[in-house]
Amino acid sequence: MKAFRSKPDSLSFRLPILPPLVIGIGLTLTFYGLIIAGPLDYYLIRRYCLCHEVAVITVALFWICMAALSSKVLEITKQSRLMSSASDSLLKLTSGVDEIARKDRAGWLNSQWESIEPRLRKSWFGRRITQLIARQIMRSNCDGLDDDLRELAHRDGDRLHVSYGMIRIAVWAMPMLGFLGTVIGIASTLGQIDSEMLASGSQEAMNCITAGLYVAFDKTAIALALTMATMFFQFGVHSAEQNMLARLDGLATDSLMPFLSSKESSPLDSTSHQLLAELTDRLGQIVSESAAKQSDVLIRSLESCHTSWITVLQKHESALADAHRQSSESIASAEAMVRRSLLTSIDAALERHSDRIAAKESVSLLRLDASRQHWESTIREHFQFVANQQKEYCQRLDTLQNVLEQTGEIVALERSLNENLRSLSDVDRFQQTAICMTEAVAYLGTQLERHGALRVHHDAESLPIRKRAA
């Protein structure tokens, strides 16, 4: 809340620009954060507040105005409370001091006023009283107190008007931004529509147009709604400040005028009262006589004017009747001429227009006939091409079917080959096993013969065995 409070030495009714601007931007970010995060995630709020960047700027201006007006409300509440306390203190100082001479009262009041609380002296009412007392001390008399009161009241009124400058600009800018967003939305919608689709009058084109306009007018709606809310709030705050200013002026006048005014009233004696009464009676007689004479002169002048007007009307009545008749005849003849000329020109224009329409119709029929013949030849060629393609596709399908059948035969041959290969591999393994066993027997016989356990018979039957073993 410190950002809303004015500095103690600031001017009355002044509105600083930076604090409401910063707070308004913070409120805008908070508002959109609540929309995105979920607490304010409603359809209408998203529709009107997030429809375009222009709507976001309008909402930001609204929150800036709300921050500025809220600061004014807080300052009015604070200054009203201080003004009540300061006026009570001033009333206590100025009551019961009739023994002080009037020429010394300004200095005495200044010294007494400096002794009260600083927060009361630095309030708006306190600064007004301080300025008034200082002016009386500088002038050395209190003859110009009325002028000082009026001047300071006018100055505070001007400050009050100037303090609403930023708010007035924002209130003016919000509807303008809404209209700008609507214009941008309409231009964008029209730019995205296909001209051929629009010329055909299809429902899709109408839906596209209505959807774009639906978004475009939402910007104006949110801008006008926020502008009205701001204006109502501004009216209430401005009325409260004006009431406070009037109360401040009244309290300053009622507090200082009886105490500092140098005009002392002197009672009138009986002679003065009698002389004043005689002058009043004489003045009343003179005024009544003058009014009677003026009424007689006025009545006579009105009668003479009435008579002269009747004479003039009688003289010019016949002339006016003749002029009216002649003007009526001329108007009727001119009307007949204009009617005839208009009918003639309209008939000629209609004939020319019908001839043009007939010529354009014949040209259009010729063009349509040529286009129809061109499309028929094109369609026949296309059908012939499609038939040829179909025949070619059929031939290719037959070829593919033959290939598939041959592929099946190849697969069967491959299977028989695989089985033969497996059989051959089994025979090969048996042959290798027999050779290994023969080599093992030969090796075993060699070892037994080497150790003397087996005697070798060198006959013709054993030679082939050894050769095979070797």
Mean pLDDT in runs of 10 for the chain (470 residues)?
Answer: 37 80 91 85 81 86 92 90 85 73 74 83 85 79 74 86 89 88 79 62 64 74 90 92 88 77 48 68 75 74 70 65 67 72 75 80 83 84 84 84 81 81 76 81 79 54 45
What does the alpha-carbon distance between residue 453 and residue 318 come to, in Å, rounded to a whole number? 183
Q: What pLDDT is recorded for position 61? A: 92
**Residue type present at position 122:** K
Q: What pLDDT is recorded for position 63? A: 93
**Contact between residue 90 and residue 260 where contact means Cβ atoms under 8 Å apart:** no
**Contact between residue 219 and residue 54 where contact means Cβ atoms under 8 Å apart:** yes
At 465 the three-state DSSP class reads: helix
**Residue type present at position 156:** D
Within a domain: 254: yes
Q: What pLDDT is recorded for position 113? A: 81
Q: What pLDDT is recorded for position 452? A: 67
Instruction: Name, in order, each residue with C-beta under 8 angstroms of 130's C-beta and a sequence gap of 6 or more.
Output: 113, 121
What does the alpha-carbon distance between residue 359 and residue 377 come to, in Å, rounded to a whole number? 28
CA angle 54, 55, 57 (to 5 degrees): 65
Name the residue range of residue 25's domain. 2-260
**Contact between residue 230 and residue 170 where contact means Cβ atoms under 8 Å apart:** yes
Within a domain: 291: no
Considering its fold, how many domains does the chain have in total?
1
Question: How many CB atoms neighbour CB 168 within 10 A?
Answer: 13
**Contact between residue 106 and residue 142 where contact means Cβ atoms under 8 Å apart:** yes
Q: What pLDDT is recorded for position 396? A: 84
Q: What are the angstrom distances between the C-alpha of 177 and each of 50, 61, 253? A: 14, 10, 46
Q: What pLDDT is recorded for position 460? A: 45
Q: What are the angstrom distances between the C-alpha of 189 and each of 50, 180, 352? A: 18, 14, 39
Query: At 453, phi and psi to the nearest 5?
Result: -80, -15
Within a domain: 59: yes
What does the alpha-carbon distance between residue 328 and residue 276 come to, in Å, rounded to a whole number? 71
Instruction: Name, in order, each residue with C-beta under 8 angstroms of 261's C-beta and a sequence gap of 6 or more.
Output: 102, 142, 145
Element holding 35 (H helix, E strand): helix 18-37
Within a domain: 462: no
Beta strands in 247-326 (DSSP E): none
**Contact between residue 86 and residue 123 where contact means Cβ atoms under 8 Å apart:** yes
Within a domain: 201: yes
Q: What pLDDT is recorded for position 195? A: 61
Q: What pLDDT is recorded for position 469? A: 43
Q: Which of 33, 45, 60 is nearest to 177 (CA)?
A: 60
DSSP state string for 380-443: HHHHHHHHHHHHHHHHHHHHHHHHHHHHHHHHHHHHHHHHHHHHHHHHHHHHHHHHHHHHHHHH
Tokens at residue 439, please? 């080599």
**Contact between residue 126 and residue 88 where contact means Cβ atoms under 8 Å apart:** no
Q: What pLDDT is recorded for position 23? A: 92
Tokens at residue 26, please? 């913070």
4 DSSP 8-state letter: G
Its pTM surpasses 0.75: no
Instruction: Name, in order, each residue with C-beta under 8 angstroms of 188's C-beta and a sequence gap of 6 or more.
Output: 212, 216
Q: Which of 227, 232, 218 is nearest to 49 (CA)?
A: 218
Within a domain: 355: no
What does the alpha-carbon distance between residue 181 and residue 193 come to, in Å, rounded to a whole number? 19
Within a domain: 178: yes
What does the alpha-carbon distance between residue 454 and residue 386 come to, in Å, rounded to a whole number? 94
What does the alpha-carbon distance between residue 14 and residue 156 come to, in Å, rounded to a whole number? 9
What does the alpha-carbon distance between residue 433 and residue 405 come to, in Å, rounded to a whole number? 43
Q: What pLDDT is recorded for position 62? A: 93
